[in-house]
Every structure is written in C-alpha cells, then in structure tokens.
C-alpha cells in the first residue's frame, strides 16, 4: 500500500470538447458516458489499492458492527400520544418508519407499530428511494406528507400517506422529485414551493414561488401567494395551527444569512420588521429574535448573539420593549433553544462546552432564569421539546468523545430527566484521555481544539494524528461519540483532534461573520495554527499529521493541501468545494455567495482566488497524499469539483492522488450503513497507511 497512483482516464477522452482555460471542464457533465467512465476507472484504481486487502476487510467489518448495529438508540419525536422513530439496520438498510407509546418505549424491547417499510416499498416499485422525513397534520397526525429522495440527494418526491390505513392516499397530494418545501394549512390545503416550470426557480435552483394548493385540483391550478426574485435563495410559507395563535408566515431567503418574513393576513403581506440577518421565530404569543449583528431599536442597542423576546401582537403594533433572554460574553454563545408548553430551554456553549438554562415568562412580564442539569466534561447536549401543546416534556441527547450517547426524557418541574436509552460502548474508552487546548492564530486569536489521545502517549512527534475541521456557516463542531472513529482510528493508537476554528458558531455569530468573504483566509490560518501547535507540543509531526474535512470542510483541507502542504502527510477531502471560480455555476453554489463572495465580480475574484485550491496548485510542489471522496448524486455541492481537482493533480504528475465517487447518498456520500462502513474504512485505512 502507498504506491504511486497510476490512473486511467486522466485526460479528456477523444472527441470531447475541452477548454484551454480549464481542460477538465468536461468532467462537469455529471452523468455523461465519458465522465462516468473516468469515475469508474478512478474507483477501480482506488478500490484495488485500498479496498482489496484483508486489512481493509477487517476495518470495514468492524465498522459494520457499529453502523449496522441493532443496539443503536431508537431516537423518537412526539406527535400527539405517540413517539415516532425512523430505524435502519441490517434487515432494513433503507429503513422503517414506526411508532410506539411512552410506556412501551420505557421497555428494553418496545413493541413498535410499523407504519412504512421503505425497503419493501423499493422492492415493489423497483426503486432505490431514501426516506427524507414526514410532516403530519396536527392535531390528529393521521395524514402525513412523506418525502423520498430517489438517490439520497436534496431533491425529493412527496406523497400523502394515511397513518390509520398504513397506505398512500389514492389521488392524494403528490409531487415529483424537486427541491420542494410543502406544509399543511388544513386537511384540504397545502403551502407548496416547488419547480412549477420555467422561471419558477432561483439562480440557486430552489423554488422562488409559494402557492396555495387545494385538494383534488391539479398543481397548475394552485394559487400564488408569494414570490421571491431569481437572485434570492428561495421562498416558503407555513401555517401555525396553535389554537388561538393561528398564523401564516411567508419568508423570502435573500441568501443563507438574510431573510425577510411577512405575516399573511386578510390577503395582505405585513413585514415582520426585524433585521434581515436576524433569526425570528414565533411561539404562541411570543416573538423571539436571535441577533447576528448589533441592533438598535426602542432606544436600546442589543449585541450580536443576543436572544430577545416580545409579545408578537405588541411588536406588530409597533412596540419595541424587548426582554433580553440571553446575552453573549467573550467565552459564551447561544447554541440553540427549544420551547416546552410553559418554558424555554436555552442551550449555551461556554468555551465550546454545553450547559442548559430554563427561562420562564412570569405574570409580571419578567422572565425567571434557572439552571437545568448539565452534561459530563467535554460533552455536548442536544435538547428538544416534546409536544408543546400538551405539557413541559423535553428530550436530551447527551454524548462526548468517550461517553456513549444517552437519550433522556424530562418534564420541567418534575425532577431530574430519566435516561430511557443508552448506546453501547463500541470501544474501550478507559484507554484514552480527552483534553482541550488553545492555539494562537496568525492574528493572535486563541483557537480552541479538543484532543483525544491514548493514555501514556509519548510526546515524541511520532503519533498518527487526524485533525478534523469545518469552519463555516456558523456551524459549531462539538464533542460527540463516534463508535466508528473509536474502532477505525483510536483503537489503532491514532490521535483525534477537533478544531473549533473561525467560520463556525462556537463563540456566536461574530466567530462566523469575521471570517467570511475577504476574511475567509482567517479560517485556514486558524487550522494551520492548530496543526503547528500539535507539532510544537510533540503530539505529532508533519509526516504523521492528516487532515479531514467535508463540504466546506473539504474546501478547508483543500487549502491545507495547496497553502500548507508542509504541515501534513495526508488529506481526506470529502464532497468539497475546490473550484471557487466556477462554484456559483455548479449545483447549488449560487446560494453561497454571501459566504464566499461572487467570483464573477472581478473585485471579489481578486480575494476569492487566494483560497481557490483548484487555481492554486503549483507544479513542482511536494503535496501530501490525498483522497477525494464524493457522490454522483450530490445535488448540493456536486461531484465535479472533486473530479476536476483529482484529474488536474494527476495531470500535473502529482503522486498519491486518489479518488472515489459513490453513486448514491447525496451530500452525505452514503445512503445506508454499508456505504457508511465502506467510506470510513477507506478513510481510516488510507490515512493509517499514508501517515506511517
């Protein structure tokens, strides 16, 4: 293993049009025979090198024991008196949708009521559909809109399902595959935004028109209620059926970070006048506004990252006397929040560690703050409410690098939450330590990172180390338990490091806003600083240090490849953006201009090109070994950027460039547990070999 790659199909096939500026443009024709022949040749070469050995089979089988295990937690969500679950295992690789009661769920082996078997449906239809969720009509939850992706991508077909009869509704609501958003108004009406034909999509490929669709009528007869522009990201509408607080709200998403929302009332559209970059939400009588930038209103200035509350009707009447429910500090940020019937639960990060707080409105207009039982050290918490129309139930998912996930239910005011399900330990956590460290980036900013390493590890620079990061869209990288990582990497003696670089949300919106567009290089400086700190501390050395990232994380490690090749021995680049000149013209790329900038604007291309890995490859440079992983069915980023980057590097004569493209799985790159086991076995075996 580890020999120089020699691939077929590295150049444009005869008769295929190419561009002098980009000789690999032909690979952008995603499913063309020529492009797919290149993909098959690449896959065969990569499989021969890494997936045909007894060692790989052993890694894959150990991971199958994790991803295909029947001992996973059956996570549930409440709808009325039932708890619903979607479950996948060896017998049901595409999954079953089912439900049970709370009393049954408390049992070690609950009795489940089967609602839909996706594998059986696929067999009957000769399809490969992937279940993408169900939206059921309140309050009875008897009729549901079920979404299916034909290949695991973002485009979904929608079919109406009748729960009591366990069958699809003949002549019911149905939509062909598209990037649709649908929602119930009542039993006979939906809000639908979908591909209505020419001119109905934005430049990003999402619906820009919202219509009201009546049962029994063709989609073409649906009535338009709202439209966004072609330069916007998308549009949608929803109906809140809460008795006494019924509302219809339409939203136009200008980009990923700016939204205008409107109350639809008596045929009028009334703007909900909050900042366009804020995140508003309504619940019963309340309007909550989570700020991304400072806002001066009502004679007060509220800081970025604050969460504000006011009664919705008062706000629409012009009042601005907000109550601040959360205000960030230098070390804390709001990760999320969730309502119960009478309370609001805040999920707060303190230096990337979770704590929970209950906030309760009082009769005098004040809000009472109380703490809620937290989590073990170096762990993360995900909290969600139950059915807020019925009680103060909440659900907690708690896990950490060395703490198998637990799933608990609580009711505010009724004592500590009850752990109902506990995931098994897939590896011996007692053999490892978890610690948090801080690196200093180029501009002096302290960058936190978590390290998981074997007890007694020698700081002699010899340890194979996997550094993971993302750095974008205000998404936080939090401690979590991974049986696959434990079995595939840690048990071998590898070190795992999770970097909390800028671009994420670990320290609130400013952690993200300060690293967008022209400031994007700060993200890469942060990641490089963590790599340098690991080397300086003796944890590892450049030849033993690998980096992995997916999606925007793929762009991150693509920049490690081109800007900091001296720091790494290997790179795993999954579902990546890499060609930042063409990204707005590929898949859903136009929707990310707010994050990266517009490469068609020469002034913006001037800074974008500095972090476009495809354009920053240089002949004569020694690059670390690299594995590109993508999926043909990825309709979000698309597979073509990884294809072109691999082809260009191979065409330059760069050694140890590997490529694998799964056909299914969409942006995750995997549609079931077997594909997951293959993907991560390939990742860990490639890294272990390259970093030896």
Residue 513 lies in a domain: yes
| Over residues 599-608, mean pLDDT | 98
pLDDT of residue 16: 37
Confidence bin at 386 (pLDDT 50/70/90): confident
pLDDT of residue 20: 53
CB-based burial, 128-152: b 16+ in 10 Å, e otherwise: bbbbbebbbbbeebebbbbbbbbbb
Claim to verify: residue 432 and residue 501 sit in the same structural domain: yes
Question: Residue 315: which residues within 8 A CB-CB, separation 6 or more?
Answer: 272, 287
Question: Residue 670: which residues within 8 A CB-CB, separation 6 or more?
Answer: 152, 631, 662, 664, 676, 678, 679
Claim to verify: residue 547 and residue 583 sit in the same structural domain: yes
Residue 219 lies in a domain: yes
> Tokens 């077929």 identify what position?
8
Q: Which residue, among 250, 248, 246, has the nearest Cα to 261 in the 3D structure?
A: 250
Claim to verify: residue 306 and residue 225 sit in the same structural domain: no
pLDDT of residue 671: 85
Claim to verify: residue 530 and residue 556 sit in the same structural domain: yes
Cβ pair 555, 530 in contact under 8 A: no
Domain closes at, from 288, 309, 328: 328
pLDDT of residue 538: 98
| Over residues 294-322, mean pLDDT | 98
pLDDT of residue 32: 97
Indicate the helix (H) or strand (E) that contains 367.
strand 367-372
Q: Tell me the C-alpha distance between 86 and 333, whole Å.
A: 32
User: Is pLDDT at 347 greater than 90 in this prediction?
Assistant: yes
* Beta pairing partners, 146: 134, 159
Question: 62-71, 210-219, 448-457, 495-504: which range is least confident on average?
Answer: 62-71
User: Is pLDDT at 1 greater than 60 in this prediction?
Assistant: no
The radius of gyration computed from the CA coordinates of the chain, to the nearest angstrom, equals: 25
Domain closes at, from 255, 272, 289: 272
Compute φ and ψ for 307, nearest 5 degrees.
Answer: -115, 125
Residue 391 lies in a domain: no
Cβ pair 614, 581 in contact under 8 A: yes
Cβ pair 504, 477 in contact under 8 A: yes
Claim to verify: residue 320 and residue 463 sit in the same structural domain: no
Cβ pair 374, 354 in contact under 8 A: yes
pLDDT of residue 375: 60
Cβ pair 437, 451 in contact under 8 A: yes
Sign of the dihedral defined by the CA atoms of residues 359, 362, 364, 369, in that order: negative
| Over residues 388-414, mean pLDDT | 92
Claim to verify: residue 314 and residue 436 sit in the same structural domain: no
Residue 343 lies in a domain: no
Confidence bin at 9 (pLDDT 50/70/90): very low
Confidence bin at 3 (pLDDT 50/70/90): very low
Average pLDDT of the chain to the nearest whole number = 94
Claim to verify: residue 287 and residue 213 sit in the same structural domain: no
Residue 53 lies in a domain: yes
**Number of domains, the chain:** 3
pLDDT of residue 183: 97
Sign of the dihedral defined by the CA atoms of residues 308, 272, 278, 211, in that order: positive
User: Is pLDDT at 241 greater than 50 in this prediction?
Assistant: yes
pLDDT of residue 397: 95
Confidence bin at 376 (pLDDT 50/70/90): low
Q: Tell me the C-alpha distance between 358 and 410, whole Å.
A: 13
Claim to verify: residue 668 and residue 566 sit in the same structural domain: yes
Whether the pTM exceeds 0.85: the reply is yes
Sign of the dihedral defined by the CA atoms of residues 476, 482, 486, 487, in that order: negative
Claim to verify: residue 572 and residue 556 sit in the same structural domain: yes
Per-residue pLDDT tens for 142-179?
A: 999 999 999 889 999 999 999 999 999 999 999 999 99
Confidence bin at 10 (pLDDT 50/70/90): very low
First to last CA, the chain: 11
Q: Tell me the C-alpha distance between 406 and 421, whole Å.
A: 6
pLDDT of residue 483: 97
pLDDT of residue 205: 94
User: Is pLDDT at 191 greater than 80 in this prediction?
Assistant: yes
User: Is pLDDT at 15 greater than 90 in this prediction?
Assistant: no
| Over residues 609-635, mean pLDDT | 97
Tokens in use for 350? 């303190």
pLDDT of residue 539: 98
Looking up residue 430, the CATH number of its domain turns out to be: 3.40.50.1820
Residue 357 lies in a domain: no
Q: Which residues are catalytic?
A: 551, 667
Could you give the strand order of the β-sheet that contains 286-290, starting from the edge strand earlier in sequence?
279-283, 286-290, 307-311, 323-326
Residue 345 lies in a domain: no
pLDDT of residue 2: 38
Residue 184 lies in a domain: yes
Claim to verify: residue 283 and residue 431 sit in the same structural domain: no
| Over residues 573-590, mean pLDDT | 96
pLDDT of residue 227: 95
Claim to verify: residue 468 and residue 557 sit in the same structural domain: yes
User: Is pLDDT at 623 greater than 60 in this prediction?
Assistant: yes
Domain containing 287: what range?
277-328
Percent of the chain exceeding pLDDT 90 equals 91
Q: Which residue, among 501, 506, 466, has the nearest Cα to 486 in the 3D structure?
A: 466
pLDDT of residue 374: 59
Claim to verify: residue 574 and residue 629 sit in the same structural domain: yes
Domain closes at, from 290, 308, 328: 328
Percent of the chain exceeding pLDDT 70 equals 96
Question: 287-291, 476-480, 507-511, 668-672: which range is least confident on average?
Answer: 668-672
Q: Which residue, among 320, 324, 359, 356, has the nearest Cα to 340 in the 3D structure?
A: 359
Tokens in use for 335? 């990760």
């Amino acid at each position: 293993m580890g020999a120089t790659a020699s691939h077929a199909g590295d150049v444009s096939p005869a008769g295929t049009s190419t561009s002098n500026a980009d000789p690999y443009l032909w690979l952008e024709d995603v499913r063309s025979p020529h492009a797919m022949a290149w993909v098959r040749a690449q896959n065969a070469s990569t499989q021969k090198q890494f997936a045909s050995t007894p060692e790989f089979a052993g890694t894959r089988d150990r991971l199958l024991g994790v991803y295909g295990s029947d001992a996973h937690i059956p996570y549930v969500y409440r709808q009325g008196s039932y708890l619903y679950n979607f479950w996948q295992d060896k017998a049901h690789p595409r999954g079953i949708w089912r439900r049970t009661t709370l009393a049954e769920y408390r049992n070690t082996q609950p009795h489940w009521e089967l609602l839909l078997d996706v594998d059986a449906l696929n067999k009957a239809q000769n399809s490969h559909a992937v279940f993408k969720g169900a939206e059921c009509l309140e309050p009875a939850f008897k009729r549901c809109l079920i979404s299916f992706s034909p290949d695991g991508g973002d485009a979904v077909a929608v079919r109406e399902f009748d729960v009591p009869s366990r069958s699809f509704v003949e002549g019911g609501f149905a939509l062909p595959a598209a990037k649709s958003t649908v929602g119930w108004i009542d039993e006979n009406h939906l809000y639908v935004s979908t591909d209505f034909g020419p001119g109905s999509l934005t430049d990003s490929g999402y619906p820009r028109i919202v219509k009201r669709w009546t049962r029994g009528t063709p989609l073409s007869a649906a009535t338009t209620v709202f439209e966004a522009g072609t330069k916007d990201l998308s549009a949608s509408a929803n109906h809140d059926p809460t008795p006494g607080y019924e509302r219809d709200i339409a939203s136009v998403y200008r980009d990923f970070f700016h939204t205008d929302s409107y109350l639809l009332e008596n045929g009028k559209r009334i703007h909900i006048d909050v900042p366009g970059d804020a995140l508003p939400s309504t619940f019963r009588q309340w309007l909550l506004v989570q700020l991304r930038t400072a806002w001066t209103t009502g004679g007060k200035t509220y800081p970025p990252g604050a969460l504000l509350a006011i009664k919705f009707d008062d706000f629409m009447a012009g009042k601005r006397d907000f109550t601040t429910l959360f205000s960030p500090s230098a070390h804390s940020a709001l990760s999320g929040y969730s309502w119960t019937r009478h309370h609001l639960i805040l999920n707060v990060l303190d230096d990337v560690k979770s704590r929970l707080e209950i906030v309760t409105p009082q009769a005098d207009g004040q809000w009472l703050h109380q703490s809620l039982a937290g989590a073990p050290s170096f762990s993360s918490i995900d909290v969600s409410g139950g059915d807020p129309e019925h009680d103060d139930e909440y659900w907690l998912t708690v896990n950490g690098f060395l703490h198998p996930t637990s799933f608990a239910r609580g009711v505010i005011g009724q004592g500590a939450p009850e752990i109902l399900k506990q995931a098994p330990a897939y590896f011996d956590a007692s053999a490892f330590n978890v610690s948090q460290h801080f690196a200093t980036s180029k501009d002096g900013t302290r960058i936190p990172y978590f390290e998981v390493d074997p007890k007694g590890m020698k700081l002699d620079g010899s340890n194979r180390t996997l550094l993971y990061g993302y750095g974008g869209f205000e998404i936080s990288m939090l401690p979590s338990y991974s049986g696959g990582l434990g079995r595939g990497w840690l048990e071998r003696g590898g070190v795992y490091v999770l970097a909390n670089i800028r671009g994420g949300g670990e320290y609130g919106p400013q952690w993200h806003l300060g690293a967008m567009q022209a400031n994007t290089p700060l993200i890469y400086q942060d990641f490089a600083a963590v790599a340098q700190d690991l080397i300086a501390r003796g944890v590892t050395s450049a030849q033993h240090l690998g980096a992995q990232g997916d999606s925007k994380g793929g762009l991150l490690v693509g920049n490690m490849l081109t800007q900091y090749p001296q720091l790494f021995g290997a790179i795993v680049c999954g579902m990546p953006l890499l060609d930042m000149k063409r990204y707005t013209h590929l898949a859903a790329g136009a929707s990310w201009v707010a994050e990266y900038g517009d490469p068609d604007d020469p002034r913006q291309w001037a800074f974008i090109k500095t972090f476009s890995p495809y354009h920053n490859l240089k002949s004569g440079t020694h690059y670390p070994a690299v594995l590109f992983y993508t999926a043909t069915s990825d309709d979000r980023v698309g597979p073509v950027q990884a294809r072109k980057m691999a082809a260009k590097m191979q065409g330059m004569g760069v050694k140890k460039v590997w490529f694998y493209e799964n056909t299914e799985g969409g942006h995750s790159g995997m549609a079931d547990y077997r594909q997951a086991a293959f993907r991560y076995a390939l990742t860990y075996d490639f890294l272990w070999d390259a970093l030896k």
